[in-house]
Amino acid sequence: MHTHALGTTKPADHVDPAWLGPDSGVVVWADLMNPSPDEGRILSEVFHFHELAVEDALGTTHFPKVESYNDYLYLILHRIDFKAPEHCFRTYDVDFFLGPNYLVTIHSGDSRSIEQISAICARNSLALGEGPAALLHRIIDAMVDNYRPEIEELGERLDELEQEVFAHSTPALAKKILDFKADVSSLRRVVQPQRDVVGRLARREFPFIDEQISYRFRDVHDHLVRLADESMFFQDRITSLLDAHLTTVSNQLNTVMKVLTVIATVFMPLTFITGLYGMNVDLPHFGLGGERMFWVLMVLMMTVTGGMLVYFHKRGWI
């Protein structure tokens, strides 16, 4: 928790309700990480936020949105977390309450963006002295900047999948592709509405965002537009990759079935000949018998096998 007054930024361990008045001359930033029920009561008892907004802020993950409550804004945005070694992609929501002279952030777990801005506020009084809207921009801008290395990790992972598909495609590879497809779908579900939320801030739809701050949000909106385009490009690539993988596996199966069919077809006349002369009845031996007839049958079966293989080759079946 930080407060800014008389050009100085200081840490604080509580929120004085007198600081929240529009004429107090104090700018407050309250950051709640994994708030307990007791800590969560500060939202309703000190800041007097609407109960539905408080419920959303303390609840499970929600999609990005922005809502106006007359004297403050309530926003939900998402930070990204992609762990490449575990191939694990997650997004976590960060809730913001923006008022005339205060900003409240609520998040689960550590947030790189908020930690970065908190360190800046501790070193530079201007960071909080510019006002809560400028501080909101700093945090959102840092969140969006942190998307870039994670998106690059996803791109590298997709390149590896493409190499696997065309080098040695196996049926087990389908699970990896579907897992990646789920990650990309999660990214699209977050980035696209987040782009719309920041777009509303950039268009100055709310009185808390002045003209200068709206220009800053335009730059963030441009970054999110590019991220949304990349997520759609990833979606197209992974869909095409899945089709290519299924086609490759199907072709491999067809090749195996063709070989098995050729083997079965070749053995059909051999089975007929051996079955015919293996019956316990008198059959014509054409003046041959015993060992001679055995070798005649062997030559006959080899001739039939060779003839069939030559025929199959000429027809392009093998």
Q: What is the pLDDT of residues 242-287, one digit of tens each?
A: 888 888 878 778 878 888 888 888 888 888 877 776 766 566 666 5
Domain with CATH 1.20.58 in the chain: 260-314
Q: Read off the pTM.
A: 0.73
Q: Give the residue with greater pLDDT, 268 vs 89.
A: 268
pLDDT tens string 71-87: 899 999 988 765 545 55
What does DSSP say about strands 27-33 and 102-107: parallel, antiparallel, or unpaired? parallel
* Average pLDDT over all residues of the chain: 83
CATH homologous superfamily of domain 2-249? CorA soluble domain-like (3.30.460.20)
The CATH architecture assigned to 260-314 reads Up-down Bundle (1.20)
d(CA 42, CA 130) in angstroms, rounded, equals 25
Tell me the mean pLDDT in the region 208-225: 90
Residues in the chain: 318
Closest to 186 in 3D by CA, of 66, 57, 55, 64: 64
pLDDT tens string 141-171: 988 888 888 788 888 888 888 888 888 777 7
Contact 76, 56 (CB under 8 A): yes
Domain with CATH 3.30.460.20 in the chain: 2-249
d(CA 44, CA 310) in angstroms, rounded, equals 86
CA 89 → CA 194, 210, 223, distances in Å?
17, 35, 20
**Other C-beta atoms lying within 10 Å of the C-beta of residue 9:** 20
